[in-house]
Amino acid sequence: MIKGDTKTAILDAAQELIQRRGANAMSYQDISEAIGIRKASIHHHFPTKDALLDALIQRYTAYFLGLVDSVVKSKKDPADQLLAYASLFEATLSEGKQDKACLCGMLGAELSSLGSPAAAGVKRFYRENEARLVRILEEGKVRGQFHFKGDAKLVAAMIFSLLEGGALVARAEGGHKRLHAMAEQTLKLLLK
């Protein structure tokens, strides 16, 4: 049975399931079994799966972007900020059985089957991450640390896509060590 807040326990269980299986493979029955409550209790807090996903995306986005903002505002140089940013994805992947990916990465793979609020939330998560990466990249370029041609927005999109997609691929082979090696290689390309 649940210790503490039921709504939070539901969100925690749903997030865990989605990060491992995806939203389409997660049901209220799965949540019910994970935390030991009736499905009716879940419906009381989240009448629909879309409502649950929307709340989950909002919570995850606030949490993850809070971590990213700490990295961006740190006194680290841009190269170290970029590695610290990548380490957020590595940390998720290295948890437990090393089969978890970013919540919004998993949901992005199922975007066409999500309701409008959830799909919009995933897209917002992507845009906000890319905007923060642009700040790191532009600062690195101003300091003469990063040397890349082209638009910082496209480079940020490329790095974000590498981390989101790389985490999904690394779940199948190589785990967090592979993702770390990919992040380090990306940094080497920027530093040349």
Segments making up each domain of the chain, as ranges: 50-191
Query: CATH 3.40.50.10380: does it fit domain 50-191?
Result: no
pLDDT tier for residue 94 given thresholds of 50, 70 and 90: confident
Q: How many Å apart are CA 34 and CA 15, to the nearest integer?
A: 12
The number of helices, as runs of H, and strands, as runs of E, in the chain is 9, 0
pLDDT, residue 173, reads 87
pLDDT in tens, 4-17: 699 999 999 999 99
Sequence-ordered list of residues with C-beta below 8 angstroms from that of 171, at least 6 positions apart, any chain: 93, 98, 99, 100, 101
pLDDT, residue 2, reads 57
Is residue 108 within 8 Å of residue 126, measured between CB atoms? Answer: yes
pTM of the shown model: 0.92
pLDDT in tens, 153-167: 999 999 999 999 999
